[in-house]
A and B are shown apart, each in its own frame.
Chain A
Amino acid sequence: GQQVMQIPQYQHVQEGEDFTTYCNSSTTLSNIQWYKQRPGGHPVFLIQLVKSGEVKKQKRLTFQFGEAKKNSSLHITATQTTDVGTYFCTNAGGTSYGKLTFGQGTILTVHP
């Protein structure tokens, strides 16, 4: 899969503030998958976006896939301390047997 660039690398917020991380690619992506990894834990699948302009919500989390399928975002409303961790976006290459290529991710710290 093609590697996507993710920003910011780090984000520190106060509990209750919103948080957004962005993924960008220079080429059109077949899909985007988002994973969360808690400190000391393993990546956990959050969601997959496939369609242009797709928006999906999971409680306080909102995921978007750009119209051109070259970017994606994850927005968390009113962060909680349980949101702490690293958020990765990945592209599972459309033709390469689901191979994921992870970037560095965005490390989120939430101060109570």
Chain B
Amino acid sequence: EAGVAQSPRYKIIEKRQSVAFWCNPISGHATLYWYQQILGQGPKLLIQFQNNGVVDDSQLPKDRFSAERLKGVDSTLKIQPAKLEDSAVYLCASSATSGRAREQYFGPGTRLTVT
């Protein structure tokens, strides 16, 4: 089966600019996650969707980050305006169901550099 797709793979922007990332989960996976991974750290969950509804966005900096999952399939994550500390890899993951622990399948990530 096809894996989780993400684009772009790399992005370089200046601070205060905006950027958007796209994710296409594995077909049929109801749960979608966005993580931020800063160099040398483990992934940190930003937001979790169950179909097209948000189930957890407690660690999403809502003053500058937003995410949506229209129609419960693809998702976009946006940063506006970007700060230097947003430089990280943004990982999208999906899983077959939620409510109980299921393995998550990660995409290749988008490496964001903010200058």
Contact = CB atoms under 8 A, between A and B. Distances in A.
A45 B103 contact: yes
Contacts of A97: 31, 48, 50, 55-56, 98-99
A38 B109 CA distance: 13
B45 interface: yes
B45 A98 contact: no
B106 A43 contact: yes
B44 A31 contact: no
Interface in B90-115: 91, 93, 95, 97-109
Contact of A96 (B42, B56, B103): B56
Interface string A97-112: 1111111110000000
Interface string B29-53: 0010100000011111100101000
Chief secondary structure at chain A's binding surface: loop
Interface in B62-115: 91, 93, 95, 97-109
A43 B50 contact: no
Interface residues on chain A, size class: 20 to 34
A77 B107 CA distance: 29
Interface of A: 30-31, 33, 41-45, 48, 50, 88, 92, 94, 96-105
Interface of B: 31, 33, 40-45, 48, 50, 55-56, 91, 93, 95, 97-109
